[in-house]
Amino acid sequence: MGTTPTEVLAFPSIRAIVRDNGTAEVVVAGNSRVVPDGDTLQDLRNNALALVVGEAQTLQRPVRVQIEDPEGHGELVVHPDNKIESVVYEARPTRRRAQAPETTPETVASASNGTVPVVAPDPILAPSVPAAREEGTPPVENQAWVPAPKEPDTSAVDGAAAHEPASSNRPTVSDAVAPEEPLTRRSLKETSFLVSAPVLEPATQGWRGAFTRLGFRMAPSPEEVAEREDIRTVSQHWPGPRTIAVVNRKGGANKTPTVVMLSAILARYSGAATVAWDNNESQGTLGWRTEKGAHNRSVLDLIDSSTELLSPSTNAAEIAKFVHHQTADKFDVLRSDENEEGDHEVTAEEVDIAHQVLTRYYRLVVMDSGNTARAANWRRMIDHTNQLVVPVTAIEDRAEAARLTLQTLESRGGHDAELARNAVVIVSESTDAKRSMTGEALKRAKAEAQRIADGFEPFVRAVVRIPYDPALVNGPIRYEALQPATQRAWLVAAAAVAKGF
């Protein structure tokens, strides 16, 4: 593609190796450069490719790259301006355990006719092959050739039938073929011509995505397929409103960042009207971590205006007087009362009123909460909840508080216990202490997060880990400010939540 083989060989040669044990390196003239850690195989590919591009920019000339990963190997040429060409990629053959074919009348008949059942090759990453070759062209390697089925020898069957005694129990040709039933209106209803599987879109990420952009239609990697499925899950619309409660009786457990991230992802992908509600009994912090609108109204102002907002004649846009829109992440925030005295505690009846108003204007309601599971507004929030989310950081007291929160709900039985059993626990590494961690301390923190996640696994529906990200520690939270690995982890968390709807 624009370069001859002679020119390619003149380029400096680099090897980019991604191993299936979660490590990778780029080898330049015998010197190995360690690829930055990636949470997935796709991250390792992207990081390795970034190092190769940097080498091309340093040399100010194209480099030839020999690539190798657990799914295949090949070569490409990377230019200093990020242009990629001269791509060759071969997928590794998929190993399958040989299975003996099931003996059936059809397989016996095919063997007697001289035909052999053939298993089609795995089409993943395999380029399409024309149905017919021009005469004189060499055959394509590894192509299975299927012999044409022979016409059944009816004369032999007829001859055998002619010499068969009349008392024989052997079925005749006429006995073996049952008369066809006439096609009825009922069978037409049960028949459809729409049986084709949806076309899998080509890869867009990593090396496979680079090959696709060059005209080589590559199937997406398993990581990209999983990401697409998570996006499909969070993009659904459900009949009727859904309420998510984010709870942990211990402060500093990442409740507010969890509310923000779930709201942002669900609003971005589904397009459904989404509101994050700070249901703290007095003063919460959701308003501090999100964008402020052009007013200072809170949940108390919404409750005072509930009669007007619930009137059939009220326009849907009137809700904007009471919520604070997040211009980048596309959801709204209903703040808690922030008056200086802080002398009002939200009651259970006020929770009912606010929830009734919000579900009139929004499909999804994500509720932040205080630290008192005995408070009236906390318990009434649980009554309205469809999906429970329990955030926890990799610190023992936060994890213990999360366990006690779930235990409290389970002991109450009924709806509360069902929420506890169906809960999603989100174990986050985003702590202030981690910013100063390096080396062994960082490894110990990751091990502790995994230990906590494993501890919750048997008791809830799903457990998701979130990596450390400085963008989640302080200040307003924005989805686009997060690292790609963190965005991916929160998408997994949101998909786990959405599956509970």
Range with the lowest mean pLDDT among 199-208, 265-274, 434-443?
434-443
CB burial string 146-173: b at 16+ within 10 A, e below: eeeeeeeeeeeeeeeeeeeeeeeeeeee
Region 279-307: mean pLDDT is 93
pLDDT at residue 310, as a whole number:
97
Instruction: Give the pLDDT of residue 437.
Output: 61
In the prediction, which pLDDT does 338 show? 77
Kindly tell me the burial class for residue 364, based on how many C-beta atoms sit within 10 Å of its own C-beta (0-12, 13-18, 19 or more).
buried
What percentage of the chain carries pLDDT values higher than 70? 76
136 conformational bin, left if phi > 0, alpha if psi -120 to 50, beta if neither? left
209-213, 239-243, 244-248, 460-464: least confidently modelled range? 209-213
Biggest CA-to-CA distance, the chain = 107
pLDDT digits (tens, 9 = 90+) for 224-258: 999 999 999 999 999 999 999 999 999 889 999 99
Query: Which of the pair, 468 or 260, is modelled with greater confidence?
Result: 260
Please state which of the ranges 216-230, 239-253, 338-352 shows the lowest mean pLDDT: 338-352
Q: Provide the pLDDT for residue 431.
A: 61
The verdict on pTM exceeding 0.75 is no
Specify whether the backbone of 251 is left (phi greater than 0), alpha (psi in -120 to 50) or beta: beta
pLDDT tens sequence across 404-433: 999 999 999 999 999 999 999 999 986 655
Q: Lowest mean pLDDT: which of 389-393, 422-426, 441-445? A: 441-445
Reply yes or no on whether the pLDDT at 71 is more than 70: yes
Confidence of residue 9 (pLDDT cuts 50, 70, 90): very low
**What is the Cβ-side half-sphere exposure of residue 80, based on CA atoms within 13 angstroms?**
7
Check whether 179 has a pLDDT greater than 70. Answer: no
Task: Give the pLDDT band of residue 25 (cuts 50, 70, 90).
Answer: confident
3-state DSSP of 232-273: HHHCCCCCCCEEEEECCCCCCCCHHHHHHHHHHHHHHHHCCC
pLDDT digits (tens, 9 = 90+) for 134-155: 344 333 333 332 233 444 444 4
C-alpha–C-alpha distance, residues 24 and 430, integer Å: 26
d(CA 278, CA 322): 13
Average the pLDDT over 65-94 and give the result: 82
